[in-house]
Amino acid sequence: MGTTYTVKYLADSKEPLPDPQQIQAGCNKILQEINRQMSTYLADSEISRFNRLKAGEGMSVSADFAAVVQEALRLHALTEGGLDVTIGPLVNLWGFGPDKSVIRAPTAQQISTAKQQVGIDKIRLETNRPSENSAYLSKQADGGYLDLSAIAKGFAVDKLAQYLDNAGIENYLVEIGGELRARGRNQNNKAWSVGIEQPQFARQQAAQIIVPLNNRSLATSGDYRNFRTDAAGKRLSHIIDPESKQPVRHHLASVSVVADNAVTADGLATGLFVLGEEKALAIAEKNRWAVFLIIKTADGFKTEMSPAFKEIVK
């Protein structure tokens, strides 16, 4: 996944602490399997094999792979198109995909070609095919490219949490690349709490707000770490707007979402970030999502919270 992970856990007062080496080995095995399924950087992964298919072709996919695609399709609708896991051709064009040799902005013709390959209608997921024992994913357009990076880390967090649950661990905090899920209590016998980092372009780090995670997940999406600078010195976000086909251009620095599970929080954070501050907050309020926005201003930053988020941190 190109990132690190951390698992913190404490023994229940009635049970001995599970062996850390055994827990780490179990976590590594789970993450390796998710990489084998969903990494676009591995030529033999499930997703890479799907991306090489031609229009009209399809393949059986694992249950986990199908579950992530299905959740991505659901969140695409909820975010009004903000989360689009078919955006890969444009991400690659702008130099944020596996091919890091791209150094120039794409031409209008290149964008026009990629535009024909992008859209949820370019893939079809069938989970109840009578002739198949597994889910079946097919491609509806040549050049279509699936990229689950906006949601896969959250899914991995949930899988590790499930593993810890099954191991009988009742108090833990799981983190993968900044996406988190917590259960139970920390070493101070309080609900786990995490700080949302304030983006400081002066390379300082400061906690913007402390969020208690009482059996909940937190995910953040932003462009203050992963960006490029074009020939004119303009910052180019790594997050591509499916509508404009270009790096997002708005005043949002980051979107943080608290949800019951990390895969949902992860996907919503990316989808809402794409939409910009006004639409993101409006959709969050309509759906009663717990959302925290950090917005760039001429003087620095300001913040906005949805009512559901205010309830969590009050």
Q: How far apart are CA 78 and CA 243, in angstroms?
A: 16
Band of the pLDDT at 206, cuts 50, 70, 90?
low
Q: Tell me if 191 is assigned to a ligand binding site.
A: no
The three-class DSSP label of residue 235 is strand
Q: How far apart are CA 53 and CA 233, in angstroms?
A: 38
pLDDT value of position 104: 67
Residues 6-35: tens digit of each pLDDT: 999 997 766 778 889 999 999 999 999 999
Q: Tell me if 77 is assigned to a ligand binding site.
A: no
Q: Tell me if 150 is assigned to a ligand binding site.
A: yes
Higher pLDDT, 109 or 157: 157
The one-character DSSP state at 120 is: G
pLDDT value of position 37: 97
Evaluate if pTM is beyond 0.85: yes
Asked whether residue 202 carries a pLDDT value surpassing 50, the answer given is no
- Rounded to 10 deg, the angle between the 262-275 and 149-166 helix axes is 160
Closest of 235, 225, 233, 217 to residue 198, by C-alpha: 225
Q: Note whether 303 and 265 are within 8 A (CB).
A: no
Q: What is the DSSP string of 247-312?
A: B--SSEEEEEEEESSHHHHHHHHHHHHHH-HHHHHHHHHHHT-EEEEEEEETTEEEEEE-HHHHHH
Higher pLDDT, 3 or 266: 266
Closest of 171, 259, 182 to residue 215, by C-alpha: 182
Closest of 271, 159, 169 to residue 217, by C-alpha: 159
> How long is the chain?
314
Residues 64-106: tens digit of each pLDDT: 999 999 999 999 999 999 999 998 888 777 777 666 555 567 7
Q: Which domains does the chain have, with CATH numbers?
A: 46-139 (1.10.3980.10), 152-313 (3.10.520.10)
Classify 208 in phi/psi space as left (phi over 0), alpha (psi -120 to 50) or beta: alpha
Higher pLDDT, 311 or 228: 311
Q: What is the DSSP string of 3-58?
A: S-EEEEEE--TTSPPPPHHHHHHHHHHHHHHHHHHH-TTSTTSHHHHHHTPPTT-E
The one-character DSSP state at 216 is: -
